[in-house]
Amino acid sequence: MLFKVYYQESAKEVPVREHTKTVYVEGKNERDVRTKLKTRPINIEFVTAVEGDYLAYEQDHQDFKVLEIE
């Protein structure tokens, strides 16, 4: 399943909407995605599943790229 992760680039940074970045990660569930990103120095704000029409909409954008993490 594909998940969209909203995050701040620094784990010490206070979440500010204008600075929020996104990345797409494949995983079994939200916990799996958070575990995969645990070693990165980022502040994860929100993780949401992307499927169906929402996935098709996201894939149409030029910044759509799935992060490859084992």
Say what the pTM is: 0.85
Domains in the chain with CATH codes: 2-67 (3.10.20.730)
pLDDT of residue 1: 92
Give per-residue pLDDT as tens, 42-61. Answer: 999 999 999 999 999 988 98
Q: In the structure, what pLDDT confidence band is assigned to residue 69 with cuts at 50, 70 and 90?
A: confident
pLDDT of residue 38: 92
Q: Residue 40: exposed, middle, or buried by beta-carbon count in 10 A (0-12, 13-18, 19+)? A: middle
Alpha carbon distance 41, 11 (integer Å)? 5
Mean pLDDT (the chain) is 90
pLDDT of residue 8: 92
